[in-house]
Structures are given as structure tokens and as C-alpha cells.
């Protein structure tokens, strides 16, 4: 049941980020073709709002599914929620920049804060399967795209460029998550997984390569030697 929730969460997270990419592209078209009061500009604005709220809803639902299915990982859950809320706020500011005093869509400080929060959320996904090299590569790819979003500010592009690159990065991350889970190359323990609970509560949480403790191995060897000794006595 919990793994089904996780599967749905990954799917909606992937689609939600693709919708955010669509929002950024519409913003690009909106500001390129903007004419005050024109029907086309109003149409693009309405379409951008529709895609924003749809993507926001999908990501919030994905976030809720992850929270309800995945054990522990509180940093991941908090960071991803913060990322979703930040993206929604940035999108609203970007569409209403002409109406909001003090908002600077070309601000380097704004781009840096945006990248910092997004990067923290990205690296928090390491908690899903620590020491998995393939998963680390996927996270590095996502983080690289997030950092690349700041280049838009340097090149004189509005903050929607950063929104696009962030959304592409997280879409890649969720796509990789689904790809690895389908091939059983990533182990994400959920509520109700008894074996995983035992490992997660252990002090050797990241030592997934050792299933038995040295004490348990010593006791097993001692038991085998004792059985051999009893067999010799009987003979």
C-alpha cells in the first residue's frame, strides 16, 4: 500500500515539474510578445496561471504522498515542501512583476536564494538511498541544472529562466527515481517495511553492505563449533 503511494508520488512529482517547465516557457513567450491590453497577452497570462496552479497541485499531492509513504527523511520532506512553496511564490511574482513594487526579476541575490533553497531540496533526496552511486549521479545532474539557472541572471534573463532549469532538474530527478525503482536499483523503505525498519533504527544506517553484526557472526561460529564438538563426543 505504501509503495503504491510512493509510486504515485514519483509520477505526480515528475508531471508537476514538467508543468512548471511549461509555465516558464509560457512566461518567455509572454514577455517576448507582451502588449498591454492585447488579447494574446491576456490569453498567455490565463494559460500561465492555469498551468501554475495545476503544477502546484500536482507537486503538493506528490509531496503529501512522499510524506505519508516514506519513513523518516524529515529533512527531505521539509526541504521539498519549501521548494514547492518557493516556486509558487516566484511564479506569482514573475507574472505580476509590473504590479509589485520592489520586485527585481533580474536580481542576482534573488537568483542565489532561489538556487540555494532548490539545491538544499535536491541534496536532501540523497536520504532516499545513501551510498547509491547511480542515485548520487542523478542528484548531481539535478544540482548542476539548478546552478545553471543562475547563469540566466548573469546573461540578463528574468528569473523565469531559473524556474525552468530548476523544474527540468527535478523532472530529471523524479524520472531517474522511477527508472531506478523499476529496475530495483534503488531501495526506498516505506512505512510497514519490517526489514528496513530494523536497518534504519540501527547505528550502522549507512552500512548497507553488512547484514550481520560481528557479534552475531561470532555467536554463529561458536554455535557451529559447539555442534561439531557434540558430534565428536557422540562418535
Distance CA 66, CA 190 (A): 9
Find all residues with CB under 8 Å of 66, minimum gap 6, and list them. 6, 9, 13, 76, 77, 80
pLDDT digits (tens, 9 = 90+) for 170-216: 999 999 999 999 999 998 888 877 644 434 443 433 444 444 444 55
Classify burial at 179, counting beta carbons within 10 Å of its beta carbon; exposed 0-12, middle 13-18, buried 19 or more.
Answer: middle
pLDDT digits (tens, 9 = 90+) for 5-49: 999 999 999 999 999 999 889 888 888 888 877 888 889 889 988
Q: Write down the pLDDT at residue 222.
A: 56
Q: Write down the pLDDT at residue 81.
A: 94
Q: Write down the pLDDT at residue 223.
A: 54
Q: Is the pLDDT of residue 218 over 90?
A: no
Mean pLDDT for the chain overall: 81
Q: Write down the pLDDT at residue 126.
A: 92
Give the rounded distance of the alpha carbon of 74 from its chain centre. Answer: 13
3-state secondary structure of 190: strand
Q: Is the pLDDT of residue 229 over 90?
A: no
Please state the domain extents for the chain: 2-182, 194-234
Rounded to an integer, the average pLDDT of 70-87 is 90
Amino acid at each position: 500500500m505504501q509503495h503504491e503511494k510512493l509510486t504515485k508520488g514519483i509520477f505526480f512529482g515528475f508531471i508537476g515539474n514538467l508543468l512548471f517547465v511549461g509555465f516558464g516557457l509560457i512566461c518567455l513567450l509572454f514577455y517576448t510578445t507582451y502588449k498591454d491590453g492585447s488579447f494574446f497577452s491576456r490569453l498567455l497570462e490565463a494559460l500561465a496561471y492555469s498551468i501554475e496552479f495545476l503544477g502546484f497541485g500536482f507537486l503538493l499531492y506528490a509531496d503529501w504522498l512522499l510524506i505519508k509513504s516514506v519513513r523518516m527523511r524529515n529533512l527531505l520532506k521539509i526541504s521539498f515542501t519549501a521548494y514547492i512553496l518557493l516556486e509558487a511564490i516566484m511564479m506569482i511574482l514573475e507574472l505580476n512583476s509590473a504590479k509589485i513594487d520592489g520586485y527585481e526579476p533580474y536580481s542576482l541575490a534573488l537568483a542565489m536564494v532561489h538556487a540555494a533553497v532548490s539545491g538544499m531540496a535536491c541534496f536532501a533526496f540523497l536520504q532516499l538511498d545513501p551510498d547509491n552511486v547511480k542515485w548520487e549521479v542523478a542528484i548531481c545532474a539535478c544540482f548542476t541544472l539548478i546552478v545553471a539557472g543562475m547563469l540566466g541572471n548573469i546573461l540578463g534573463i528574468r528569473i523565469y529562466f531559473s524556474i525552468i532549469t530548476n523544474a527540468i532538474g527535478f523532472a530529471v530527478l523524479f524520472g531517474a527515481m522511477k527508472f531506478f525503482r523499476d529496475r530495483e536499483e534503488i531501495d526506498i523503505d516505506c512505512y510497514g517495511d519490517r526489514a528496513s525498519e530494523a536497518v534504519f533504527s540501527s547505528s550502522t544506517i549507512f552500512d548497507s553492505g553488512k547484514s550481520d553484526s560481528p557479534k552475531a557472526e561470532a555467536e554463529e561460529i561458536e554455535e557451529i563449533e559447539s555442534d561439531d564438538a557434540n558430534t565428536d563426543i557422540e562418535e
